[in-house]
Amino acid sequence: MLMTARNRPMMFAMPSFRLPPFFVATWLACVLAMSSAAASAADRVIVLDSAEAQLSLIDQATHQVVGTLPTGKAPHHLMIPPDHDSLIIANSVSNSLMFIDPHTGQLQRRMEGVEDPYQLGFSPDRRWFVTAALRLNRVDIYRFDGNTITLAKRIPIAKTPSHLNFSSDGKWVFVTLQDSGELAAIDLATQTIAWRMPVGNAPAGLWMTPGDRYLLVGMTGEDDVAVVDWRAQRVVKRIPTGRGAHNFRSLDDGRHVAASNRVSNTISIIDYVDLTRTRDITGLLPGPDDMELTADKRFLWVTFRFARHVGVIDMSTYALVDTIRVGRSPHGIYFSNRAPVLGPNAD
């Protein structure tokens, strides 16, 4: 193609000809094969093997591990950025981020110099990128311009900042302090700690109910989920679960969220309207941790942190229907054809 003086494309006419039927058939077969391969690659389940410095790639249809990819040391959590073009893997000990294709798991690029990114998240207004540096007892706040992140402030906060969540307006980031048994709130505009409050033993995962009314806190050192009125800085209720309540995944039904119990080896289904536990999923392997839900809401995938396996739960029967062996200490999990996550809760 050439450009004219008026900056318009000049197209060259191509001679016409007819392909023999054999070549047409061969060409169609190649196109179909490539389409099939692309569809297959787009069905990858991505699992972070945190104790092996790698991620496992699982074919979602066959439940077979089809490959691995080296990461940095201690990849624990992952998330989708606002543009959804990449999946970010946080390598906490290597002080780096990896960007991979969220459909295929192929490496796109690496970013060095992000210190101890144990947990990570973008604010709902897309102005801030925040990491919890669990090992360094710090929360780091970065400005985000839609393309790049720039460090704004490092906030020392002991002890052992673990999980993050945001208010819907992007003004607040909340962080659990695992070893001091507290929940803290950071004002993102001023990058200062607004308050901290005791919630119990070893708080971990955070989940915000609709309307930002309550924060649900997984109490890994106890056997309940704490319901926190964060505006009043008060625990208003404790929902009994199994021992080691840890993390959450919305079930996209307008009513329920799953909470993994790492010690009891169960998953509790919580009604976040009535603030009650409706049932438990039992018969699981040791250490259920992070979860992901298929787009049709039929299957809940879960990493078994202490068993080197990933499990698939049929949500129509609440039964574990398959387990897949992966690397040591599987933690974060993601696949692209998933059910929506109820905002402002992190991806």
Do 300 and 317 contact (CB within 8 A), yes or no? no
Q: pLDDT value at position 42?
A: 57
Q: pLDDT value at position 25?
A: 46
35 versus 81: which is more confidently predicted?
A: 81
Percentages helix, strand, coil for the chain (3-state, rounded to 5) are 5, 50, 45
Cα separation, 29 vs 24, in Å, equals 9
Q: pLDDT value at position 30?
A: 42
CA-based R_g, the chain, Å: 23
Q: pLDDT value at position 345?
A: 81
Cα separation, 225 vs 238, in Å, equals 6
For the chain, give the mean pLDDT: 89
345 versus 335: which is more confidently predicted?
A: 335
Question: 3-class DSSP state for residue 153?
Answer: strand
**Is pLDDT of 268 > 50?**
yes
Among 10-14, 25-29, 97-101, 293-297, the least confident range: 10-14
Task: Tell me the mean pLDDT in the region 47-70.
Answer: 97
Q: Which of 264, 272, 328, 333 is nearest to 302 (CA)?
A: 333
Q: pLDDT value at position 342?
A: 82
Q: pLDDT value at position 43?
A: 80
Q: pLDDT value at position 13?
A: 32
Q: Return the HEC string of 254-303.
A: CCEEEEEECCCCEEEEEECCCCEEEEEECCCCCCEEEEEEECCCCEEEEE
Q: pLDDT value at position 34?
A: 40
**Is pLDDT of 16 > 90?**
no
Distance of CA 161 to the CA centre of its chain: 17
> CB atoms < 10 A from the CB of 95, how many?
19
DSSP run (H or E) holding 27: helix 21-41
pLDDT in tens, 122-160: 999 999 999 999 999 999 999 999 889 999 999 999 999
**Is pLDDT of 258 > 90?**
yes
pLDDT in tens, 186-201: 999 999 999 999 999 9
Q: pLDDT value at position 2?
A: 29
Is the pTM for the entire model greater than 0.85? yes
pLDDT in tens, 195-224: 999 999 999 999 999 999 999 999 999 999
Among 46-55, 142-151, 250-259, 322-331, the least confident range: 142-151
Distance of CA 142 to the CA centre of its chain: 19
**Is pLDDT of 26 > 70?**
no
Q: pLDDT value at position 72?
A: 97
CA torsion angle for 60, 56, 114, 101 (degrees, to 10)? Answer: -40
φ, ψ (nearest 5 deg) of residue 230: -75, -25
**Is pLDDT of 17 > 50?**
no
Q: List 248's β-bridge partners, or say none.
A: 259
